[in-house]
């Protein structure tokens, strides 16, 4: 077989452009597979190790205020292996260089320093020493965003009280791998921090002496988390227990799980598209190659080569192309995977991430790609290899053509001969034409989907931050206070407008379906916090009854007119039935709303408020923050502009990287399909085209025949691809719906245009390269040989 192998090698060189284009498509599929699989393995592996090493708890609960004596009974619950209780307090930090208030979650550390569960991973410094009340450990995301080192001091308000704190350590925690400010979906390390400090000073500040409001448990191997939750809830109920939950509802863990799910999806959807395209391309290229070698194959067989030997010979060619692609794909996928892991490290605060590329992933990639190649090539190879030599040595008779449907209908009268050639050629092999169209369309759809991410983010920002939440500042009070507090806020210099709100944690129930969320009381006619319906129009709150997010209505299986049981989880415990009045659209979280007066009546609390939305002059924000900091009733302040900016910064970086790779991958498919189609058309038809040149046709005129056919394929593929992209975007958006956030399935004209542009560029490049071949065609050479 040595001579045959040399033949194979030369043929490969002869079609290196086409082989490379196919290898690139295979590489695209392999790279996305390796990228998403290795990233997934890395994240999951590190997560598991970190959870184990830092003892991530398995059951979590919040309550209002429970005495520490209760801990003994909790530890006694069957199956509970370890218990850790703490005090969690909202606060604000003020950094000298940073104008906006930083929202902080302040957590207590046990007297021993390191907690038993959800242990801290110290990146630098140390834990606070016993008795040093001003010492704190700072979350690493925030520390690196502000370049804070141990030793730095700053002012903070914890539960309305100002104090000076000193950073002694920087740490991460398995609880806060995804560090999310409540109400947000993207971590904002600049304006959200987690602080750990000693138990005693925090308990004192918060009025929680020898008490706790957060607890986490480790359930042993034999224990059932469900049973533990049941018992725990019962124990905590008298102390304002808000219902325990497992890891599944732990925010950081949930976001990680969502991310894993998306990676898994990416590990299948993209490789399938790429490898299907690669299989198709291999099929057409090998078919063409074998058609040109029909008589050579016959001669080999006449010399005594067996059919299987010839089948293997050509399959080897396909295998070599695919393996080159797999090699490139694994290299690219590993490289991108490492980059991706670094990117993840910016968003997910893993103490460490060890990049893993399992041999199984590499082998899997190769096997899947080879299977796709076999799928594409086998049929063509067997068909030609098993042809009887005598028959194969006959010259191929001219291809069978017939008038097109159009012409049979009598509509072909005015067509020029070149135009007729284009149409008849397309109609002669409709499957090939359709598959080429499908391939280019697949590429367009991937491009549309790339644009869709940006569009969705823009739309969410527009909807959520420019239409629904329009405040500059949100303040929340330590506890509900009288409406009169508004006067002192509105009189602040620079504050132009203010809207009160009342929030209360509730459990909503419809039969066996329950959901915990906050019920917000708002005033009608507000300008800062507005509720929008699905048409983005402002919805008024009814005098009685609930307005809930449409997604929540789906989860609870209620529609307007149905009744929900509302159980308040704070203050006066009330259980009341309230009708659902209407639904609103929201993309982040799920909430319930009521007219503020109605809510207060329900709570029997008079006109109290728990916070306010404020509009303020941007130039005076520093002054406003300074004044707010000095108001002891204010628990926390957050700045909307800041949230928006960081949302965009984080998103934009990731989007840009994503869009870049996405465009390259999609363009690979487009060029692969268009270039190969053009090359094969050129090789199949160079004889015809040369004849026409001899007859006096110009280069431009014969290019029309070849490139016209390409143009038709591309122009048919674009609308199909845009439509497919729209469907794919909707599918992706739907698959990401959860109560955490919903992704709107919007695609802007800009994304469609971008996809179209890239496809057209790919088409023009492929067309130009074939045009060059046409211009260089040696007429005499082409015509003197027998086909």
Q: Report CA torsion sign: 39, 41, 44, 46.
A: negative
Would strands 102-109 and 192-198 be described as parallel, antiparallel, or unpaired?
parallel
- Under rule CB under 8 A, residue 786 binds another protein: yes
Chosen residue from 364, 418, 542, 554 binding another protein by CB under 8 A: 418
Kindly state whether residue 694 participates in binding another protein, applying the rule CB under 8 A. Answer: yes
Site membership for another protein, residue 686 (CB under 8 A): no
Minimum CB distance to another protein smaller for 328 or for 422? 422
Query: Which parts of 16-101 are beta strand (E)?
Result: 59-67, 80-86, 88-94
Residue from 3, 388, 400, 409 that binds another protein (CB under 8 A)? 400
Q: Check binding of 416 to another protein (CB under 8 A).
A: yes
Whether residue 243 contacts residue 95, with contact meaning beta carbons closer than 8 Å, is answered with no
Q: From CA 595, how far away is CA 523, in angstroms rounded?
A: 6
Distances (CA, A) of 390 to 177, 246, 291, 304, 382: 71, 74, 15, 13, 17
The answer to whether 201 touches 662, Cβ cutoff 8 Å, is: no
The verdict on 712 binding another protein (CB under 8 A) reads no
Residue 142's DSSP bridge partners are: none
Q: Please tell me whether residue 773 binds another protein under the rule CB under 8 A.
A: no
Please, what is the minimum distance in Å from the beta carbon of residue 706 to another protein? 13
Name the one range near another protein by CB under 8 A: 302-310, 393-401, 582-590, 654-662.
393-401
Q: Is 294 in the site for another protein (CB under 8 A)?
A: no
> Is-contact 651 511, C-beta < 8 A?
no
**Considering only 227-235, 375-383, 661-669, 688-696, which stretch makes contact with another protein by CB under 8 A?**
688-696
Task: Detail the DSSP E strand segments found in 446-541.
Answer: 473-482, 495-510, 513-522
Contact stretch for another protein (CB under 8 A) within 128-136, 377-385, 562-570, 684-692: 684-692
Query: Do the beta carbons of residue 525 and residue 497 sit within 8 Å?
Result: no
One-character DSSP codes across 680-706: HHHHHHHHHHHHHHHTT--HHHHHHHH
Binding-site member from 30, 38, 118, 425 for another protein (CB under 8 A): 425
Q: Kindly report the length of the chain.
A: 787
Q: Which is nearer to another protein, 423 or 754 (CB)?
A: 423
- What is d(CA 641, CA 472) in angstroms, rounded to the nearest whole number? 6
Residue (512 or 786) nearer to another protein, CB:
786
d(CA 606, CA 33): 59
Nearest distance from C-beta of residue 414 to another protein, angstroms: 11
Distance from chain centroid for Cα 160? 38
Paired sense of beta strands 135-139 and 161-172, if any: parallel
Residue 687 contacts another protein per CB under 8 A: yes
Burial (CB count <10 Å: 0-12, 13-18, 19+), residue 474: buried
Could you say whether residue 703 binds another protein (CB under 8 A)?
Answer: no
Closest CA to 754 of 333, 463, 453, 436: 453
**Residue 698 makes contact with another protein by CB under 8 A:** yes
Task: Compute the least distance from the CB of residue 418 to another protein, in Å.
Answer: 7
Among 132, 402, 429, 559, binds another protein (CB under 8 A): 402
Q: What is the DSSP letter of 464?
A: I
Nearer to another protein, 391 or 397 (CB): 397
Closest CB 301 distance from another protein, rounded Å = 24
x-or-dash string of contact with another protein, 553-592, rule CB under 8 A: ----------------------------------------
Q: How would you class 488 by CB atoms within 10 Å of its CB: exposed for 0-12, middle for 13-18, buried for 19 or more?
A: exposed
Q: Which is nearer to another protein, 576 or 694 (CB)?
A: 694
Give one word for 587, left, alpha or beta, with left for phi > 0 and alpha for psi -120 to 50: alpha
Which residue stretch of 305-313, 314-322, 697-705, 732-740 sits at the interface with another protein (rule: CB under 8 A)?
697-705
397 makes contact with another protein (CB under 8 A): yes
Stretch that binds another protein, among 72-80, 282-290, 350-358, 415-423 (CB under 8 A): 415-423
H/E run at residue 666 = helix 640-694
Q: Does 699 interact with another protein (rule: CB under 8 A)?
A: yes
Query: Should residue 401 be labelled a site residue for another protein when binding is judged by CB under 8 A?
Result: yes
Query: Is there binding between residue 424 and another protein (CB under 8 A)?
Result: yes
Nearest CB to another protein, comparing residues 575 and 783: 783
In the complex with another protein, the residue whose CB is nearer, 427 or 544, is 427
Tell me how far apart the alpha carbons of residues 4 and 385 are, in angstroms, rounded to a whole number: 14
Among 295, 691, 738, 769, binds another protein (CB under 8 A): 691
Instruction: Verify binding: residue 399, another protein, rule CB under 8 A.
Output: yes
Options 75-83, 410-418, 431-439, 592-600: segment touching another protein (CB under 8 A):
410-418
Which residue, 626 or 699, is less far from another protein as judged by CB? Answer: 699
Selected from 63, 670, 692, 722, the binder of another protein by CB under 8 A is 692
123 binding another protein? (CB under 8 A): no
Burial zone of 408 (CB within 10 Å; 0-12 exposed, 13-18 middle, 19+ buried): exposed
398 counts as binding another protein under rule CB under 8 A: yes
User: Which positions from 200 through 229 interact with another protein, judged by CB under 8 A?
Assistant: none
* CA triple 679-437-25, angle to 5 deg: 60
CB of 716 to another protein, least distance (A): 19
Burial category of 291 from C-beta neighbours within 10 Å (exposed 0-12, middle 13-18, buried 19 and up): middle
Least Cβ distance, residue 673 to another protein (angstroms)? 23
Residues contributing to the site for another protein (CB under 8 A): 397-402, 416-418, 420-421, 424-425, 428, 687-688, 690-699, 701, 779-780, 783-787
């Amino acid at each position: 077989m040595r001579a045959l192998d040399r033949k194979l090698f030369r043929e490969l060189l002869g079609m290196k452009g086409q082989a490379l284009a196919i290898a690139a498509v295979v590489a695209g599929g392999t790279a996305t597979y390796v990228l998403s699989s290795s990233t997934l393995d890395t994240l999951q592996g590190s997560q598991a190790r970190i959870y184990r090493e830092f003892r991530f708890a398995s059951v979590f609960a919040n309550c209002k205020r429970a005495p520490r004596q209760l801990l003994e009974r909790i530890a006694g619950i069957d199956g509970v292996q370890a218990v850790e209780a703490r005090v969690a307090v909202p606060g604000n930090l003020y950094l000298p260089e940073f104008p906006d208030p930083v929202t902080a979650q302040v957590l207590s550390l046990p007297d021993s320093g390191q907690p038993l569960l959800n242990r801290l991973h110290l990146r630098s410094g140390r834990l606070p020493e016993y008795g040093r009340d001003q010492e704190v450990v700072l979350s690493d995301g925030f520390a690196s965003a502000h370049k804070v080192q141990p030793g730095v001091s700053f002012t903070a308000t914890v539960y309305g009280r100002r104090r000076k704190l000193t950073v002694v350590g920087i740490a991460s925690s398995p609880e806060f791998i995804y560090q999310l400010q409540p109400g947000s979906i993207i971590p904002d390390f600049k304006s959200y921090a987690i602080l750990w400090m000693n138990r005693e000073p925090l308990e004192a500040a918060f009025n929680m002496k020898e008490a706790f409001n957060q607890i986490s448990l480790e359930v042993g191997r034999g224990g059932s988390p469900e049973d533990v939750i049941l018992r725990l809830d019962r124990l905590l109920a008298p102390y304002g227990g808000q219902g325990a939950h497992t890891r599944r509802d732990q925010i950081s863990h949930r976001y990680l799980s969502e991310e894993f799910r998306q990676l898994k999806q990416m590990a299948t959807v993209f490789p399938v598209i790429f490898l299907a395209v690669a299989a198709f391309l291999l099929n057409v290229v090998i078919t063409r190659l074998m058609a040109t070698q029909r008589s050579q194959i016959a001669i080999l067989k006449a010399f005594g080569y067996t059919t299987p030997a010839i089948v293997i010979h050509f399959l080897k060619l396909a295998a070599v192309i695919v393996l080159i692609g797999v090699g490139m794909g694994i290299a690219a996928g590993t490289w991108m995977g490492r980059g991706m892991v670094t990117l993840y490290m910016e968003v997910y605060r893993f103490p460490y991430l060890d990049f893993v590329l399992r041999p199984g992933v590499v082998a899997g990639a190769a096997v899947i790609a080879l299977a796709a190649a076999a799928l594409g090539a086998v049929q063509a190879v067997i068909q030609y290899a098993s042809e009887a030599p005598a028959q194969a040595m006959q010259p191929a008779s001219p291809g069978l053509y017939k008038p097109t449907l159009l012409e049979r209908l009598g509509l072909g009268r005015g067509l020029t001969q070149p135009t007729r050639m284009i149409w008849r050629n397309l109609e002669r092999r409709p499957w090939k034409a359709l598959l080429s169209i499908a391939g280019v369309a697949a590429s367009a759809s991937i491009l549309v989907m790339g644009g869709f991410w940006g569009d969705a983010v823009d739309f969410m920002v527009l909807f959520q931050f420019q239409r629904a939440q329009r405040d500059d500042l949100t303040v929340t009070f330590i506890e509900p206070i009288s409406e009169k507090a508004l006067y002192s806020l509105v009189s602040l210099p620079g504050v132009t407008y203010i809207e009160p709100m009342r929030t209360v944690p509730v459990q909503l129930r419809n039969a066996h379906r329950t959901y915990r969320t906050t019920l917000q009381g708002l005033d009608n006619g507000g300008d800062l916090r507005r509720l929008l319906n699905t048409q983005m129009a402002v919805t008024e709150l009814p005098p009685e009854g609930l307005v809930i997010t449409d997604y929540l209505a789906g989860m609870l299986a209620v529609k307007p007119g149905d009744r929900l049981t509302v159980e308040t989880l704070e203050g006066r415990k009330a259980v009341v039935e309230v009708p659902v009045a209407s639904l609103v659209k929201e993309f982040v979280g799920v909430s319930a709303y009521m007219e503020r007066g109605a809510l207060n009546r329900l709570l029997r609390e008079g006109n109290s408020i728990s916070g306010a939305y404020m509009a303020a002059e941007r130039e005076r924000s520093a002054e406003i923050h300074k004044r707010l900091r000095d108001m002891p009733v204010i628990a926390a302040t957050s700045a909307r502009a800041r949230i928006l900016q960081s949302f965009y910064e984080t998103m934009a970086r990731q989007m840009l990287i994503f869009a870049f790779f996405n465009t390259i991958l999609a363009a690979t498919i487009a060029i692969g399909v268009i270039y190969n189609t053009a090359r094969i058309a050129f090789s199949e038809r160079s004889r015809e085209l040369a004849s026409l040149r001899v007859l006096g046709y110009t280069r431009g005129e014969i290019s029309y025949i070849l490139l016209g056919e390409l143009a038709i394929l591309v122009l048919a593929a674009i609308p199909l691809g845009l439509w497919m992209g729209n469907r794919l975007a909707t599918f992706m958006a739907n698959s990401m719906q959860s109560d955490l956030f919903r992704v709107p399935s919007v695609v802007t004209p800009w994304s469609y245009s971008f996809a179209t542009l890239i496809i057209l560029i790919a088409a023009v490049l492929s067309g130009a390269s074939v045009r060059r071949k046409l211009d260089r065609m040696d007429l005499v050479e082409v015509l003197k040989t027998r086909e």
